[in-house]
A and B are shown apart, each in its own frame.
Chain A
């Protein structure tokens, strides 16, 4: 019996069993060896080993994944001579390794007997007693909700199946999200089901009921209210951007007038301080990049740093598409290769402490009202390096030519003085009110380290007897010398008994160890809450599920201190918002409330922009107060992690396993050095070194990252957790807070790095699924695309040219649909000009498609399961390269090499062009993966999905098969979404609309870099992008005809700086060739 679908494209032409061989290096070599067919293997090996410079001459450019490849170190060649990562060709072996057991906890997937033919004999069907009116079992429901973190509430849209949330997306109606969600928001869902979350409310080691705590608190409040008005009561919280919590706090304050609230935000402290001084009130600057032609980032990673990045990324990307008019130009000065730095047209490597001087020089060069401020700052900063000074001049020229259409952003790690200078420059250029809007801050109170210091001083002086902590794990996140740990630790504080500490958190962590009362908090998807976004928009965040582990809502915890009868968070929230409407609002409150909850945003809550201009006097005070950091040759930089932030996502295995966007390291952090600095210090990748700073020492593994500033070392926060029950996070990486000082929380000079014995193995995906040096990500300047040089023409010919039947194209074409009426022809496009490499799509894919987490050891063997990977390429010199990000998933070749090597027909084509993967047919030969030129297939070496608790199984998407051990899997273009939408459309007897069908990666992409749809419909965005002049196919010359088109990344360099550059670049290239 022929089991192939009748309508599938012809695949069994005999000639189809061999792919056209494309000569690797150049025609001459292969011609010379033409007669020598017997020695093909030797030749291939020789080819691999001579690949010292992995460029193909035809491309004229050198793209490389990492330093070892660029320099062709012997170790690299040894490791990479085989086509596949070590271990990828081994039989499935081994089990029950330590790391594997660790992650069994949170994140592996459903243990269904899926690919097993035995059916359970007595499977039960459990209907509702009373079906909720909105539920039709089998169909998903979507609820608007939110996620609050670091003083910002992100608007979310949660998909629920029969009452359990299974997917987090951005709320399309939220002005910041606009449908997008970052990695944190999406992984937020996994933390909901994390069985390691705290469950027990306890006093000391004794479990207590909430009622006992309530009685305890109410007697405390009564005594205090009658006595000193709560003078000895302190609260330490996150910045409170929730109107309800703000109101509760005000009411507690009325009851206990002397109680004090401190808040602590891990980031953005300096910006808040500067804006408070400049504008006379707590403000937040909103940037409008749609109108900015020139963007200057002073160490600002605005495309990824929270909280406004989703909106900024979309605005930025819209201006990188030549179809939307002239491209913007991005200048970045930074100490490390960041996501924003990778998108820059001109990137300058500077130490963090040089940014102040750079900003001062820029202010001076821009002139106008900023000049005098700049001059006084320049005096403090000292002379700039000549290359920095010339860079500043060019940037200033460009800024001045775009006055009112430019913007300068200062980084969150930079001191207030830099923020003041940046806003002074913006004011001088007339950008305020145009590209920069100043709005009242969502969380108005001060939330810097000064707050924590004041609190610690009070405790030390014995002025505090009760401390309530709701801030995330301050004992871990605070710099080591903040002093809070010393006063909370009974061993170090003799008067500890006089202090009662209540800590509310999601996990039993470093802080809960010292708490007298510990209250497990309810997850935000388990309770009613509200919160403001940075632009003032209020979201009403509704719960999706009853608390799984007896968590207490934060609002109810605060309400205990009012000593009033218990009211649930829902009632408090409604009462608060009813009161906001006034008498007039009460009448139709119910209707309005329903709309707010269902849409997720409160209309009219957008903050009004202030018209105030910055107080330059205050700015010069800030500049005057600026203390240059310590000198010393090695500058130590702390950065929040792209995956774990300040450590609050550390127990999230999705994020732990996500490759860092730049270093591609999973399950680890490292001390990151530039190649030159590493050479100077005699360090190499994987060496262990002792990092010494301020008299404190820490052993850290070292990794080398091209593009980092010389003489700096960068460490990520958030790792090295030692929390009691956070099994996933435990002992992953090192805790950089142990070196951090409150005096210089983000960077300081005078660090020392010395090699010590030992080595460290990173699990990095950098060289996994390599493409043998064939440059696949393409970038070029706008002018190059408009007037291609001979070289560029050659490239374009190679990646876009016609395929000749019989040469690269020896399969006959299948007759796909040509019009929407004939059917669908699925295709995707990925615009490299837009893609920042933020990883949001990778997490979206993981959540949507039940992709398991495999653990550090397995990633080290190249067995990560992510269907969608982001390749990060460097180009240029090893010290100062440019970067291109390229997401690659299965490209659904029309003539797919994987299909005709499968002995069991487990991967076959659909008549709409999907490369279907049939798990139940797969026997795990892995031939398909061998033959896939794009290396996008993933194999279940172990039963990664077994051993789930019933809570964890609730996370799984029921529309996608949970794969078993021994089965190949890969991107399906979210076929479950296609089929669901298709069935809905067919029942309604209409065609699928472009808007109703989005793949998970496309849906969440903050920059809309991914488009998906039917290529048979010329009106769809994806079709137009496929026909764009920038569109090309990966490995086009193989004739596989991918359905995913990539669009060439465009750069918009400043001619003035390009003219200066070649001399420098020329010398660095010398060594490479």
Chain B
């Protein structure tokens, strides 16, 4: 009896702590795999998938700004003034455009306020959109694909090579490294040199 209670005394806290650690890393807490309903039923499957529109057509500041940018309503209307311009799906978009009112999209990828992520440097050094955002072309409603935890960031910052891709495929949803391991490593080394990648791990790299 006393042996059991002693074991319990050790096991219960251990399991509790372990459980807690597992829980905070679980998709439930990191908000992964949780499609978010948006005010307008915008479907990336159609735009990025079927129509093969480059990510940068709408998220045009991704190469020059910390933020990839949420497209302004004008960007929507640049096409939808011509195509589907009477579609009831787009009523809200037209309304917002003509009333000059912003569309309040719901934020999906939300880092804590003390973390400063910069899109331009990652895209500029060969980290593709799909690496962090997943197969956006297969998402009806956008969901967070990666855990976006600090350890996940650091994994790549300590060894960025597996996540590098040639600049011409930076927005590609389907690009994959060569299947042959040696070939993939050779490509990674080449890109690492060519793009002059220096992933930093000092605290102030992200926390300012």
Whether the pair A983, B105 counts as a contact (CB closer than 8 A) is no
Residue of A127, A131, A959 contacting most chain B CB atoms (<10 Å) = A127
Whether the pair B118, A983 counts as a contact (CB closer than 8 A) is yes
Whether the pair B102, A123 counts as a contact (CB closer than 8 A) is no
Q: Which residues of A contact B125 (CB under 8 A)?
A: 986
Q: Tell me whether chain B's interface is mostly helix, strand or loop, or mixed.
A: loop
Q: Which residues of A contact B200 (CB under 8 A)?
A: 911
Whether the pair B112, A972 counts as a contact (CB closer than 8 A) is no
User: With contacts A127-B102, A918-B207, A959-B116 known, is A136 near B64, CB below 8 A?
Assistant: yes
User: With contacts A122-B106, A130-B74, A959-B116 known, is A979 near B201, CB below 8 A?
Assistant: no
Whether the pair B113, A961 counts as a contact (CB closer than 8 A) is yes
As a 0/1 sequence over residues 905 to 926 of chain A, the CB contacts with chain B under 8 angstroms (1 = contact) are 0001011101010111000000
Whether the pair A120, B110 counts as a contact (CB closer than 8 A) is yes
Q: Is A46 in the interface zone, CB < 8 Å from B? A: no
Q: Which residues of B contact A1019 (CB under 8 A)?
A: none
Cα–Cα, bound, A5→B204 (Å) = 11
Whether the pair B61, A136 counts as a contact (CB closer than 8 A) is yes
User: With contacts A129-B100, A962-B113 known, is A138 near B73, CB below 8 A?
Assistant: no
Q: Which residues of A contact B102 (CB under 8 A)?
A: 126-129
Min CB gap B81→A, angstroms: 13
Q: Is A397 in the interface zone, CB < 8 Å from B? A: no
Min CB gap A494→B, angstroms: 55
Q: Is A960 in the interface zone, CB < 8 Å from B? A: yes
Q: Which residues of A contact B65 (CB under 8 A)?
A: 136-139
Q: Which residue in chain A gives the minimum CB-CB distance to B113?
A: A114
Q: Which residues of A contact B69 (CB under 8 A)?
A: 127, 136-138
Whether the pair A979, B112 counts as a contact (CB closer than 8 A) is no
Q: Is A6 in the interface zone, CB < 8 Å from B? A: yes
Q: Is B124 in the interface zone, CB < 8 Å from A? A: yes
Whether the pair A113, B113 counts as a contact (CB closer than 8 A) is yes
The listed residue (B72, B96, B196, B208) touching A976 by CB distance below 8 A is B208
Q: Which residue in chain B gives the minimum CB-CB distance to A976?
A: B208
The listed residue (A113, A131, A911, A919) touching B202 by CB distance below 8 A is A911
The listed residue (B97, B101, B113) touching A112 by CB distance below 8 A is B113
Cα–Cα, bound, A912→B202 (Å) = 9
Q: Is A975 in the interface zone, CB < 8 Å from B? A: yes
Whether the pair A129, B74 counts as a contact (CB closer than 8 A) is yes
Cα–Cα, bound, A976→B120 (Å) = 15
Q: Which residues of B contact A919 (CB under 8 A)?
A: 114, 207
The listed residue (A6, A115, A117, A962) touching B201 by CB distance below 8 A is A6
Q: Which residues of B contact A136 (CB under 8 A)?
A: 61, 64-65, 69
Whether the pair B120, A127 counts as a contact (CB closer than 8 A) is no
As a 0/1 sequence over residues 68 to 85 of chain B, the CB contacts with chain A under 8 angstroms (1 = contact) are 011111100000000000
Q: Is A491 in the interface zone, CB < 8 Å from B? A: no
Q: Is B205 in the interface zone, CB < 8 Å from A? A: yes
Per the 8 Å Cβ criterion, residues 935-984 of A in contact with B are 959-962, 972, 975-976, 978-979, 983
Q: Is A223 in the interface zone, CB < 8 Å from B? A: no
Q: Which residue in chain B gives the minimum CB-CB distance to A117?
A: B112
User: With contacts A127-B72, A129-B72 known, is A908 near B203, CB below 8 A?
Assistant: yes
Q: Which residues of A contact B64 (CB under 8 A)?
A: 136, 139, 987
Cα–Cα, bound, A119→B73 (Å) = 27
Q: Which residues of B contact A5 (CB under 8 A)?
A: 201-203
Q: Which residues of A contact B208 (CB under 8 A)?
A: 959-961, 972, 975-976, 979
User: With contacts A113-B113, A975-B204, A983-B121 known, is A129 near B158, CB below 8 A?
Assistant: no
Interface range on chain B (Cβ under 8 Å from partner): 35 or more
Q: Is A323 in the interface zone, CB < 8 Å from B? A: no
Whether the pair A129, B101 counts as a contact (CB closer than 8 A) is yes
Min CB gap A1071→B, angstroms: 51
Q: Which residues of B contact A117 (CB under 8 A)?
A: 112
Cα–Cα, bound, A918→B118 (Å) = 18
Q: Which residue in chain A gives the minimum CB-CB distance to B24?
A: A117
Q: Which residues of B contact A754 (CB under 8 A)?
A: none
Q: Is B162 in the interface zone, CB < 8 Å from A? A: no
Q: Is B178 in the interface zone, CB < 8 Å from A? A: no
Q: Which residue in chain B gives the minimum CB-CB distance to A135?
A: B61
Whether the pair B113, A983 counts as a contact (CB closer than 8 A) is no
Q: Which residue in chain B gives the minimum CB-CB distance to A914?
A: B204
Q: Is B26 in the interface zone, CB < 8 Å from A? A: no
Q: Which residue in chain A gives the minimum CB-CB distance to B123?
A: A987
The listed residue (A124, A128, A960, A987) touching B120 by CB distance below 8 A is A987
The listed residue (B63, B71, B202) touching A916 by CB distance below 8 A is B202
User: With contacts A119-B112, A920-B112, A961-B114 known, is A131 near B74, CB below 8 A?
Assistant: yes
Cα–Cα, bound, A940→B102 (Å) = 37
Whether the pair B73, A6 counts as a contact (CB closer than 8 A) is no
Q: Which residues of A contact B104 (CB under 8 A)?
A: 124-126
Q: Is B19 in the interface zone, CB < 8 Å from A? A: no
Q: Tell me whether chain A's interface is mostly helix, strand or loop, or mixed.
A: loop
Per the 8 Å Cβ criterion, residues 82-136 of B in contact with A are 96-97, 100-107, 110, 112-114, 116, 118, 120-121, 124-125
Q: Which residues of B contact A972 (CB under 8 A)?
A: 204, 208
Whether the pair B205, A979 counts as a contact (CB closer than 8 A) is yes
Per the 8 Å Cβ criterion, residues 965-1013 of A in contact with B are 972, 975-976, 978-979, 983, 986-987, 989
Q: Which residue in chain B gives the minimum CB-CB distance to A983?
A: B121
User: With contacts A127-B102, A129-B74, A136-B61 known, is A114 near B202, CB below 8 A?
Assistant: no
Residue of B71, B114, B200 contacting most chain A CB atoms (<10 Å) = B114
Whether the pair B196, A989 counts as a contact (CB closer than 8 A) is yes
Min CB gap B42→A, angstroms: 12
Per the 8 Å Cβ criterion, residues 94-152 of A in contact with B are 112-115, 117, 119-120, 122-131, 136-139
Q: Is B52 in the interface zone, CB < 8 Å from A? A: no
Q: Is A7 in the interface zone, CB < 8 Å from B? A: yes
Q: Which residues of A contact B70 (CB under 8 A)?
A: 125, 127, 137
Min CB gap A161→B, angstroms: 11
Q: Which residues of B contact A127 (CB under 8 A)?
A: 69-73, 102-103, 105
Q: Which residue in chain B gives the minimum CB-CB distance to A118?
A: B112
Q: Which residues of A contact B116 (CB under 8 A)?
A: 959, 976, 979
Q: Which residues of A contact B172 (CB under 8 A)?
A: none
Q: Which residues of A contact B112 (CB under 8 A)?
A: 114, 117, 119, 920
Q: Which residue in chain A gives the minimum CB-CB distance to B39?
A: A124
Q: Which residues of B contact A912 (CB under 8 A)?
A: 202
Min CB gap A964→B, angstroms: 9
Cα–Cα, bound, A129→B76 (Å) = 10
Cα–Cα, bound, A989→B66 (Å) = 17
Cα–Cα, bound, A978→B71 (Å) = 28
Whether the pair B31, A119 counts as a contact (CB closer than 8 A) is yes
Q: Which residues of A contact B204 (CB under 8 A)?
A: 910, 914, 916, 972, 975, 978-979
Residue of A5, A120, A972, A976 contacting most chain B CB atoms (<10 Å) = A5
Cα–Cα, bound, A976→B66 (Å) = 12
Q: Which residues of A contact B103 (CB under 8 A)?
A: 126-127
Whether the pair B207, A138 counts as a contact (CB closer than 8 A) is no
Cα–Cα, bound, A976→B116 (Å) = 9
As a 0/1 sequence over residues 745 to 776 of chain A, the CB contacts with chain B under 8 angstroms (1 = contact) are 00000000000000000000000000000000
User: With contacts A117-B112, A129-B100 known, is A124 near B106, CB below 8 A?
Assistant: yes
Whether the pair B196, A916 counts as a contact (CB closer than 8 A) is no
Q: Which residue in chain A gives the minimum CB-CB distance to B201?
A: A5
Whether the pair B202, A910 counts as a contact (CB closer than 8 A) is yes
Cα–Cα, bound, A5→B105 (Å) = 37
Q: Which residues of B contact A114 (CB under 8 A)?
A: 112-114
Cα–Cα, bound, A983→B121 (Å) = 6
- 27 A-B pairs within 8 Å (CB atoms) are namely A6-B158, A8-B202, A113-B113, A117-B112, A124-B106, A125-B104, A125-B105, A127-B69, A127-B70, A127-B72, A128-B102, A131-B72, A131-B74, A136-B61, A137-B61, A137-B69, A137-B70, A138-B66, A138-B67, A138-B69, A139-B65, A959-B208, A961-B113, A961-B208, A972-B208, A975-B208, A986-B196
**Closest 3 pairs (CB-CB, A-B):** A910-B202, A138-B67, A138-B65
Binding site for B on A (CB under 8 A): 5-8, 112-115, 117, 119-120, 122-131, 136-139, 908, 910-912, 914, 916, 918-920, 959-962, 972, 975-976, 978-979, 983, 986-987, 989
